[in-house]
Amino acid sequence: MEEKKMMHLNISKNQIGKYVFLPGSVERATKIADYFDNPVKVAHNREFLTYTGTLEGIPVSVTSTGIGGPSSAIAVEELFECGAHTMMRIGSCASTSSKVKIGDVVIVNGAVRMEGTGLHYLPVEFPAVPDYYMVKELEAAAIRLDIPYNIGVTITKDSYYTEVSPETKPVYYELKNKWEAYEKGGATNTSMECSTLFLAAASLGIRMSSVMISATNYKCYSNDDKDYPREWEDRAIRVGIEAMKEIIKKDMSKPQTI
């Protein structure tokens, strides 16, 4: 009997590993897959590109999610239905603090819920946080690789251009006041997926984390593609791969794995 195919990712249970990386872009999915042993392209439907290979002899996958919460939640749900239990976002973010410079790796330890998709999973009082064990492994990986990093709170927003050019929007003052409050609270970066991913994972009872590359310096953003630090994007990928290898090895050493 033919395996059931997921509606959006176009994958089936026997095609993916239980450990999955979640970049936003299809281009980054390919870069991540290059670190696998024997990577194979499994499916490409809409924004969702999936490769499967192995790390430490264990099947792993990478699936691009596209930009933002709704498509990211779809990816998590369908990967979970296919058996995945440990997921890691590898993405990019913008600095919201002098503590984070362009090219720094950002390891997220919590997310401001400035998005709506997470409300479909857990009430607003519930914190959007990653798996603590995975955060520790990501930090250890950054230290081993001698890559500059920051551990901090990210701001997950639903709209890219309300951050880039908020003064052009009718709700500018509300956006300005909220953003200033988040920065005063210590948020060091912003992107568009973390809160949703953490909340979806929590509702499903699986592990989720996030490691990103800062694409900007604080209050220095050009919105010009040529200024994106592609030469440093590999830093976040290397940290994520290194951390996932350790997670896999430690899982396999346990008497009963997940």
Mean pLDDT within 131-140: 98
> CB neighbours of 163 closer than 8 A, spacing ≥ 6?
94, 157, 175, 179, 190
Residue 223 has pLDDT above 80, yes or no: no
pTM more than 0.85: yes
Q: Which domain holds residue 115?
A: 13-253
Give residue 219's pLDDT band: very low, low, confident or very high (50, 70, 90). confident
In a domain, 8, yes or no: no
Q: Does residue 18 sit within a domain?
A: yes
Whether residue 94 is contained in a domain is answered as yes
CATH of the domain at 61: 3.40.50.1580
3 lies in a domain? no
Where does the chain have alpha helices with state H? 26-33, 69-81, 132-145, 161-164, 172-184, 194-204, 233-253
pLDDT in tens, 153-173: 999 999 998 888 889 999 999
Domain assignment of residue 6, yes or no = no
What's residue 157's pLDDT? 96
How many distinct structural domains can be found in the chain?
Answer: 1
> Burial code of 123-140, b = ≥16 C-beta within 10 A, e = fewer?
eeeeebbbbeebbbbbbe
- The pLDDT-based confidence of 185 (bands split at 50, 70, 90) is very high
**Higher pLDDT residue, 17 or 227?**
17
| 4 belongs to a structural domain | no
- Per-residue model confidence (pLDDT) at position 2: 63
In a domain, 2, yes or no: no
